[in-house]
Structure 1
Amino acid sequence: MTTSARPATKPACPNFSSGPCAKRPGWTVEALKGALTGRSHRAKPGKAKLQLAIDLTRDVLGVPADHKIGIVPASDTGAVEMALWSMAGARGLDMLAWESFGEGWVTDVQKQLKLEDVRVFKAPYGELPDLSAVDTKTRDVVFTWNGTTSGVRVPNADWIAADREGLTFCDATSAAFAMDLDWSKLDVVTFSWQKVLGGEAAHGMLILSPRAVERLESYKPAWPLPKIFRMTKGGKLIDGIFVGETINTPSMIAVEDYVDALQWAKSVGSLKGLIARADANTRAIADWVAASKTFAFLPKVEATRSNTSVCLSIVDADVVAKGPEAVGKVAKAIVSLLDKEGVAYDIGAYRDAPAGLRIWCGATVETADVKALTAWLDWALAEAKAAA
């Protein structure tokens, strides 16, 4: 039996997936008509298009002129792996993990690279490790700026030493284009096209500071490197990687889509405009949560809440009283109901995270759609409880 009024307005776009994320407002396949299909990416027009993607990335993100930007294989994962396999092990390593992807980098370093001088700082979903305990002065540091699966981000880069001797490796895949990254504190930054700008999957971005380049040219790891990980030759950086000469063949359709997204980003105010859009979306969720007695943010500390991958817990007293299994069933029922109604797709919590919801609020999502969704969340919870 229906126990609450069915909302009258649905989100115009029901795509709230945390990756691949919603396309930019107004996107159609016509945006791809300039794609350099059927041509070599190594031909002059192909390299020019790839260089344009790099130049627009630098422009929109405000990447310093002395930092290298490369398009690499295998999305953000590929970019992180390239960096770790090429540069980790030169000195002691501190690793931060508070969600699944950070945990994945820990596994790679400890079980695949088998590094011994590694310290791991962990925190449960919804929390951050103690950043003050991390040695950013003398050791390398690996962390995610924004935990996509937990909705927790670092509040800033103040905890990173300005006079550091090691490198900082920052997985920024759901932070880039939505959060203000402090480039003076970051040496290796990675992200993919499929998050904040709603690009297509499979390609990653790797940004290197001069200090990271120096590491690449002075350090030779003890293990062999696959071809797609090699960024040096004869002890020198393969500079072509960072001027559009990709290691392997990129999809020029995906490149065109990324360029289109970057040009849209410039039209809405570049980084400041993108951050403002994501903040407005998250604020709509926060206003609704503040008045709710049935939903809450998974992260308890406001300063660490993501403005892209917003993770919510169900705190309805009637549901919680029945135990964790009941909470999980109600969360799944809400996801199923809203999918069936065409209101919201792919908003279930990540499989390793606590039961709940995960709503993408990045810049390509319209605030009006977020506001419309909140009414449907209340409706779906009432429906799920009635059916339980």
Structure 2
Amino acid sequence: MPAIELPTSLIPADGRFGCGPSKIRDEQLAFLSSLQPTVLGTSHRQAPVKNLVGSVREGLAQLFRAPEGYEILLANGGATTFWDSAVHSLISRRSQHLTFGEFGAKFGAAAAAAPFLEEPTIRKAEPGSRSELLPQAGVDVYAYPHNETSTGVMADVRRAAGDGVDPGALTVVDATSAAGGIDFDASETDVYYFSPQKNFASDGGLWFALVSPAAIERIEQQTNGDRYIPESLNLAGALSNSRLNQTLNTPALATLALMDEQVRWINDNGGLSWAAARTAESSGVLYEWAEKSEVATPFVADPQHRSQVVVTIDFDDSVDASAISKALRENGIVDTEPYRKLGRNQLRIATFTAIEPDDVRTLTGAIDYVLERL
């Protein structure tokens, strides 16, 4: 028996609150099963698999309300792979990176390590806050996360603007934990890229990106042979293969299937505005709970910077947050631990689109129950 046993009324219907991989709905698994044996285990160069890829691409274009000329690309790998692809195939000379957590910093580090690029500008903010774009001559890519998964800080999707922004500069947004759960204006970005294991409730193994005509033109310019680019990182290959509804190497079919059903579910329920309202409701429950608590407080001080999809809550030194997570896990409520490198006395709770707001409400009751008994 667990040291603290929760009453049944305080156990959510689904106890998965991790920030990735995330909760997968039963309907997604049923759809995956329906593809056996006609799609699973068949050639990714033939119609059944290519039709599945095409369905995902079409669904994402609908979900993001893709402007005229924008396209959905996909390729093998995850967001980490995309950073290396962007370094080779998108940045001409110099980039500017906003870093307010682990993942924005990693893209900046990848650009800094490239011997064929100029030193990037890194605009760093302390965890729990965010930095802002600064117009800068000579910068041809402005890059930042829409949502920082490690800290629970959210940024607006906006282009760099004002004196000093070079014509043709691209806005490149890491949307891994935001896509499918936070609304945005696609015309404000040139590349909106992500892995599918967050709001899309899928698995890893692929990256996706919504790209503008300007980004496509940049890809074609940067991949004309003047710079060595490994084939697996060449975005020109991703562009040509995506247009054929395929990838360079065999894609993760289960990832595609889970994602296809999730995208269809979101679109059928009202699209991105519906998903954003749902995640805002769930995250709002947690922030309101923390603000009323005597021992907890939202980690992100500015309410305008707080994430809708990754909620970070600090606890007073009198409370051991790891003990809360441990007690919750013993009762089947899992993955509420903080980001490992942040090292704070906190909980980090996903409120992705697949997570039921009522389960989040039940979770707050469970935390209170545990706190009373620690």
| TM value normalised by structure 2 | 0.90
Counterpart check, 1:336 vs 2:352:
no
**What code does the residue aligned with 2:231 have?**
K
CA contact (8 A) 2:112 2:119 kept: no
State the partner residue of 1:82.
85
CA contact (8 A) 1:85 1:113 kept: no
Q: 1:80 to 1:160 in 2, by over 3 A?
A: farther
Q: Distance in 2 between matches of 1:382 and 1:99?
A: 32
State the partner residue of 1:311.
312
Q: Distance in 2 between matches of 1:7 and 1:378?
A: 14
CA contact (8 A) 1:7 1:376 kept: no
Q: 1:38 to 1:127 in 2, by over 3 A?
A: same
After superposing the two structures, state which structure 1 stretch, 110-119 or 64-73, moved more.
Answer: 110-119
Q: Distance in 1 between matches of 2:198 and 2:227?
A: 32
Specify the SS of the correspondent of 1:177.
coil
Counting aligned pairs with the same residue, the percent is 25
Q: Distance in 2 between matches of 1:112 and 1:127?
A: 28
How many Å apart are 1:368 and its aligned residue? 0.8
State the partner residue of 2:337.
348
**Over the residues paired in the alignment, what is the CA RMSD in angstroms?**
2.5
Contiguous gaps of at least 5 residues in structure 1: 320-329
After superposing the two structures, state which structure 1 stretch, 238-247 or 366-375, moved more.
Answer: 238-247
| TM value normalised by structure 1 | 0.87
How many Å apart are 1:207 and its aligned residue? 2.1
Q: Distance in 2 between matches of 1:288 and 1:212?
A: 42
**What code does the residue aligned with 1:171 have?**
D
State the partner residue of 1:322.
none
Q: Distance in 2 between matches of 1:349 and 1:114?
A: 37
> After superposition, where does 1:62-73 map in structure 2 within 5 Å?
62-73=65-76
State the partner residue of 1:196.
199
Q: 1:314 to 1:160 in 2, by over 3 A?
A: farther
Specify the SS of the correspondent of 2:193.
strand
Q: 1:238 to 1:8 in 2, by over 3 A?
A: closer
**What code does the residue aligned with 2:232 have?**
I
> After superposition, where does 1:81-160 map in structure 2 within 5 Å?
81-88=84-91, 90-113=92-115, 115-129=117-131, 131=132, 133-135=134-136, 139-157=140-158, 160=161
**What code does the residue aligned with 1:337 have?**
A
Q: Distance in 1 between matches of 2:326 and 2:198?
A: 23
Q: Distance in 2 between matches of 1:277 and 1:92?
A: 38
State the partner residue of 1:361.
351
CA contact (8 A) 1:4 1:379 kept: no
Residue deviations 1:318-368 (CA, integer Å, cap 9, x gap): 34xxxxxxxxxx1211111100111x2111111111411110001110111
CA contact (8 A) 1:41 1:47 kept: yes
State the partner residue of 1:327.
none
Q: Distance in 2 between matches of 1:334 and 1:134?
A: 44
Q: Distance in 1 between matches of 2:236 and 2:349?
A: 40
Q: 1:28 to 1:178 in 2, by over 3 A?
A: closer
Counterpart check, 1:182 vs 2:178:
no
Which residue, out of 23, 28, 47, partners 2:50?
47
CA contact (8 A) 1:4 1:382 kept: no
After superposing the two structures, state which structure 1 stretch, 299-308 or 152-161, moved more.
Answer: 152-161
> After superposition, where does 1:133-282 map in structure 2 within 5 Å?
133-135=134-136, 139-157=140-158, 160=161, 164-220=167-223, 224-232=228-236, 238-282=239-283
How many Å apart are 1:47 and its aligned residue? 1.3
**What code does the residue aligned with 2:229 have?**
L
Q: Distance in 2 between matches of 1:172 and 1:231?
A: 18
CA contact (8 A) 1:196 1:362 kept: yes
Q: Distance in 1 between matches of 2:286 and 2:273?
A: 20
Q: Distance in 2 between matches of 1:95 and 1:55?
A: 30
How many Å apart are 1:81 and its aligned residue? 2.5
State the partner residue of 2:290.
289
State the partner residue of 1:38.
41
**What code does the residue aligned with 1:56 have?**
G
After superposing the two structures, state which structure 1 stretch, 344-353 or 217-226, moved more.
Answer: 217-226
How many Å apart are 1:75 and its aligned residue? 2.0
Q: Distance in 2 between matches of 1:349 and 1:136?
A: 38
**What code does the residue aligned with 2:34 have?**
G
How many Å apart are 1:298 and its aligned residue? 1.0
**What code does the residue aligned with 1:84 have?**
V
State the partner residue of 1:323.
none
CA contact (8 A) 2:96 2:123 kept: yes
How many Å apart are 1:14 and its aligned residue? 0.3
Contiguous gaps of at least 5 residues in structure 2: none
**What code does the residue aligned with 1:219 have?**
Q
CA contact (8 A) 2:339 2:348 kept: yes
